[in-house]
Amino acid sequence: MSSAVTLHEAGTHHAGHDVHHDHHHQSFISKYVFSMDHKTIAKQFLVTGIIWAIIGGLFSVIFRLQLGYPEATFPFLEDFLGHWAKGGKLQPEFYYALVTMHGTVLVFFVLTAGLSGTFANFLIPLQIGARDMASPLLNMLSYWFFFIASVIMMSSLFVQTGPASGGWTIYPPLSALGDASIGSKIGMDLWLVSMAMFIVSSLLGGLNYITTILNMRTKGMSMTRMPLTIWALFFTAVLGVLSFPVLLSGAILLLFDRNLGTSFFLSDIVVAGKILPNEGGSAILFQHLFWFLGHPEVYIILLPAMGMASEILSVNSRKPIFGYMAMVASLFAITILAFLVWAHHMFVTGMNPFLGSIFVLLTLLIAVPSAIKVFNWLTTLWRGNIRFTPGMMFAIGFVSLFISGGLTGIFLGNSALDIHLHDTYFVIAHFHIVMGVASFFGMFAGIYHWYPKMFGTYMNNTLSYIHFWVTIIGAYLIFWPMHYEGLAGMPRRYYDYSNWESFKMFGGLNEFISVVAMIVFAAQLLFVINFFYSIWKGRKVTTLNPWNANTLEWTTPIRPGHGNWPGEIPEVHRWAYDYSKDGKDFIPQDVPVGADESKH
Amino acid sequence: MNVVALEKRNKIHPHKFTLWVGIGSILMMFAGLTSAYIVKRNQANWVSFDLPLAFWYSTAVIIASSVTMWLALKAFRGRLMSRYRGMMLATLVLGIVFIFLQVMGFKQLWDNGITLQANVSYSFLYVIVGIHAAHVIGGVITLIVMALKALNVKMRNYSSVPVELISTYWHFVDILWLYLLIFLLMIR
């Protein structure tokens, strides 16, 4: 087994330091459960993320049943959900719980932990030429804190009063008062505790990613030779490390309000005819603290997808990425702007219009780096020798979705328009396309592209293409019509739209969306089957570098052991994008620069 | 736990760098709390407060502990191990005294009617000072572990990295306290 190739060399070359020694006789537990190998930790994040994605997707299918068929009853739901679907009809309280948990699970557990947890862990050491993360122990703890967060969040689904149901943004007073709604009871406490664990996990991960990238690069791997995936994961980690603590401070204040009788976010509230003693708090304050994380969180989700798409587009166009430095600069600009635009989520909170217009300006500025990125992706594709591998299909799909969803962002960034569109289906359509589905496409692109490196086998191509086409067509069919519903004023998070005369005309459309949502969900199951089946039964990888790519991960053995390279770590002599150069199809990063070679 | 393939050319040890990034992260949390405090202060119902005397004593104690920490690191680098042990113990004791004085301060506040629930400004005071104290407790726990290691004469310690890490962290919580104290004095 190739994992028997270990770090003896590392030990001899760096005898002065304490280095891992022997991994010949690892037990199952230390190899697959409490592993400190970044590749195994990445797979743990990925599999946990996939499980959460199935659960979170299933939530949306269930509440889409209610939205598509508000009059119908589904007896099988009662077997499955018990008193939450009495008589086969989803209860309104549980509908809110499902909407809340769908958002929480997908935003945090799938597209944060599942996406950057997987690919930062997997790709950073492999692509920068390091044997492991700066601190493998913190890395392992990062996964296990995520696991604890997962278990707590999962357990909240099974408590008597149900999980948190005040929306994934957990605005007070609904989230601060146990009596405010049925979902504000123990479910909300479990949500907060779970998120605290989650924040610890992502901070431990982020610290490690930043340190590893800045400190552990192999010889010759200067910052400007790093693949764009690494740049994107670096900025993602910076965003996480600086914004999650602010959410933590908001969550701590919320815990005090819930359990210790303080009034940070509460003032002059009447519940069931009784005036509460809380005075002097401000619910808007929570929104500021929340969105100071919440907006960077959008980019925490999006940047890894951008980085992976850049890499995959370049590899499969057989062309250098267009405008490498512009790509890095635009990632940097997005990272800075991400911290300066949070109040555009709060245009209708009665903020000073002058302040609002500053946030409009800063928000619209994000269009500039975003447009640079799109331009560079398209020019990378332009006249390329394109290979339509499944990974490439999803990377192109990502660009398509990013454009479609990004354009509606310009609408919403204008406070004058946002006041009309706020909290409608237009917002749902916008962020699902640009952040939800687009990032999922980045994640799928990454999985299909690096699957051979992760597991040493290929996924089935036919199933992959079916997965792609159903998902991209389905995603547009689901979310495109929602723009029209939103423009007509249809609000988010309502249980039954057939009660309103003005929204009755959307009955048929809602049913259509629900049917497509179920089909798309089924296609994701196809992906899951393909994923797990191929680990054991997939076609074996027989060449070191199946995609003819330049980056360092393809210089490792087909199934690299702990330590990644059996011998010395390769030295880097060039950037990652020497494709179609001087008559050569590709020149890997560890090939020395020839005397007569042209400079890029 | 260790660092694989650490190369000589690195200027800063990865663990130290990780700590610095972590300090940045902790600072962001306090930035969140103190900016929330500033926002809240400009709204109605704000009641100003006086800091208890115990907080002044604790300030002196934590500054003294920073000095002993610095001396401990210096002794360790000079391989003056008995002096190092003494200074580590002194730092540990001063850290515990600091926590004790903070608790005393809270008690003084509480006895003067400045309770957690009475006003938002008081709640902020408790939360901000409390979370800082939690970070000091984290440091004290690390110091206990380090002091136990230092007292074990049979164990030979040569790497100065762990000592440097705790000393950086310790100075950080000290400076953080000075910042919070000045902040709470200036803006209340």
Residue A574 token pair: 């060039």
Q: Which CATH class is domain B50-186?
A: mainly alpha
Report CB contact under 8 Å: A279, B45: yes
Q: How many angstroms separate the CA atoms of B80 and A128, rounded? A: 40
- pLDDT at residue B146 tops 50: yes
The number of residues making up chain A comes to 600
Nearest to B45 among A10, A210, A280 (CB): A280
The H-or-E segment that residue A271 falls in is strand A270-271
pLDDT in tens, A533-542: 999 999 999 9
A194 — contact with chain B (CB < 8 Å)?
Answer: no
Residues in chain B: 188
Task: Tell me the three state secondary structure of residue B81.
Answer: helix
CA A429 from chain centre, in angstroms, equals 17
Test the A interface: residue of B25, B125, B180 with most A CBs within 10 Å: B25
- Confidence band, pLDDT 50/70/90 cuts, at residue A13: very low
Is residue A279 within 8 A of residue A257, CB to CB? The reply is no
Q: What residue of A is the nearest CA neighbor of B39? A: A285
Band the pLDDT of A278: cuts 50, 70, 90: confident
Residue A291 has pLDDT above 60, yes or no: yes
Question: Is A10 a residue whose pLDDT tops 70?
Answer: no
Return the pLDDT at B125: 93
Place of tokens 């039964």: A537
Contact B18/A134, CB-based, under 8 Å?
yes
**Which of A136, A262, A289 is opposite residue B32, by nearest beta carbon?**
A289
Which pLDDT tens digit goes with each residue over A399-457? 999 999 999 999 999 999 999 999 999 999 999 999 999 999 999 999 999 999 999 99
Superfamily of domain A36-586 in the CATH hierarchy: Cytochrome c oxidase-like, subunit I domain (1.20.210.10)
User: Mapping DSSP to helix (H, G, I), strand (E, B) and coil, where does residue A275 land?
Assistant: strand
User: With a threshold of 0.90, does the pTM exceed it?
Assistant: yes
* Residue pair A300/A433 in contact by the 8 Å Cβ criterion: no
Residue of chain A whose Cα is closest to the Cα of B43: A280
Contacts of B36 in chain A (CB under 8 A): 249-250, 253, 264, 285, 288-289
- Chain A residues with CB under 8 Å of B129 CB are none
Domain boundaries, chain B: 50-186
Contact B102, B51 (CB under 8 A): no
Q: Determine whether the interchain pair B4/A261 forms a contact, defined as Cβ–Cβ distance below 8 Å.
A: no
Query: Rounded distance, CA B13 to CA B7, Å?
Result: 10
Beta pairing class for A274-275 and A579-581: unpaired
Nearest to A172 by CA among A333, A286, A11: A286
Asked if B123 lies within 8 A of A18 by C-beta distance, the reply is: no
* Tens digit of each residue's pLDDT (9 = 90 or more) over A362-399: 999 999 999 999 999 999 999 999 999 999 999 999 99
Q: Chain A, 136-175: which have a CB under 8 Å from a chain B CB?
A: 136-138
3-state secondary structure of A540: strand
Residue B3 has pLDDT above 90, yes or no: no
Measured in angstroms, the CA of B30 and the nearest CA of chain A are apart by: 8
The interface predicted TM-score of the complex, written ipTM, equals 0.89
pLDDT at B157: 67
Which of the residues B12, B120, B165 would you substitute to probe the A interface, choosing the one with the greatest number of A C-beta atoms within 10 Å?
Answer: B120
Stated as kind and residue range, the H or E segment containing A579 is strand A579-581
Contacts of A282 in chain B (CB under 8 A): 39-40, 43
Inter-residue contact A258 to A176 (CB < 8 Å): yes
Residue that is written with structure tokens 């280095």 in the block: A19
Tally C-beta pairs within 8 A across A and B: 140
pLDDT at residue A457, as a whole number: 96
Structure confidence at residue A25 (pLDDT): 61
Residue A570 tokens read as 């390769």
pLDDT band at A229 (very low <50, low <70, confident <90, very high): very high
Domain ranges of chain A: 36-586
Among B158, B133, B142, smallest CA distance to B69 is for B142
Distances (CA, A) of A411 to A294, A364, A408, A427, A475: 19, 9, 5, 10, 20
Option in B4, B7, B18 nearest A132 (CB): B4
Query: Which contacts (CB < 8 Å, 24+ apart) does range B105-112 have?
Result: B105/B51, B105/B52, B105/B53, B105/B54, B105/B55, B105/B58, B105/B129, B108/B52, B108/B53, B108/B54, B109/B49, B109/B52, B112/B52
